[in-house]
């Protein structure tokens, strides 16, 4: 398992966007688990991802060269917020 950080990840933006959309494909609704009707990210810059790459706020975890997890973090005042987005839970990849 390896972790990579930084603006150099922009070259992997398509794979990262795909993983995020797959991780968000299922959601809990008022009636239980449901499939989203639209992707979480419409493109590689959606929801601040472009800025996150430039500001080195994206960490990617790989196993055998495959991207299996993404952490996007942000600092608001005195709080640190992050989202751990992983497809490993759904794909059966053991990390």
User: How many Cα atoms sit within 13 Å of 41 on the Cβ side?
Assistant: 20
**Span 34-93, pLDDT tens digits:** 777 788 888 888 888 888 888 888 888 888 888 888 888 777 777 766 665 554 444 444
Angle at 26 between CA 12 and CA 36, to 5 degrees: 90
State the Cα–Cα distance between residues 84 and 69, nearest whole angstrom.
7
Instruction: Return left, alpha or beta for 18; rule: phi > 0 is left, psi -120 to 50 is alpha, else beta.
Output: alpha
- 3-state secondary structure at position 42: coil
* Per-residue pLDDT at 88: 45
pTM across the whole model: 0.65
pLDDT of residue 26: 79
């Amino acid at each position: 398992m390896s972790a990579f950080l930084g603006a150099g990840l922009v070259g992997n933006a398509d794979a990262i966007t795909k993983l995020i959309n797959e991780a968000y494909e299922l959601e809990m609704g008022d009636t239980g688990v449901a499939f989203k009707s639209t992707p979480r990210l419409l493109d590689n810059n959606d929801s601040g991802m472009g800025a996150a790459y430039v500001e080195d706020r994206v960490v990617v975890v790989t196993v055998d060269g495959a991207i299996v997890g993404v952490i996007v973090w942000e600092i608001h005042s005195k709080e640190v917020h992050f989202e751990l987005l992983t497809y490993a839970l759904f794909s059966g990849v053991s990390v």
